[in-house]
Amino acid sequence: MNIFVSNISFKVREQALKELFAEHGEVSNVRIIKDKETRRSKGYGFVEMPSDSEGNAAINALNGTSHYERTIVVAEAKGKKETTETDGNAAAEG
């Protein structure tokens, strides 16, 4: 299950997010999205958990909780797994 996490503190690193979610099951991947130029966190990311039941348990347990003094928003990720750099260019071609 791919989980979207937003309102992440800019101080949080992927390892800290992994540890938070690991309390609810196996975590296979964590990715905090960063600005390409500054390499600074954009304040959101994705956590992948192989088990849907563990993923749902993590969502239910963590959504709306405080982490590094910020209230995080945790939900099942929707749409594409990853964005590409060409997103948005298709409209310009027509």
Tens of pLDDT, residue by residue over 20-70, are 999 999 999 999 999 999 999 999 999 999 999 999 999 999 999 999 999
Confidence of residue 81 (pLDDT cuts 50, 70, 90): low
Confidence of residue 7 (pLDDT cuts 50, 70, 90): very high
Type of residue at 37: E
Identify the H or E element spanning 83: none
Is residue 80 pLDDT above 80, yes or no?
no
Angle between helices 14-22 and 52-62 in degrees, nearest 10: 100
CA distance between the termini of the chain: 35
Give the global pTM.
0.81
CATH of 2-77, one of 3.30.70.890, 2.60.450.10, 3.10.129.10, 3.30.70.330: 3.30.70.330
Identify the H or E element spanning 69: none
Residue 63 to residues 60, 71, 90: CA-CA distances in angstroms?
6, 8, 35
**pLDDT for residue 17:** 97
Domain coordinates in residue numbering, the chain: 2-77
Beta strands 41-48 and 29-34 are antiparallel
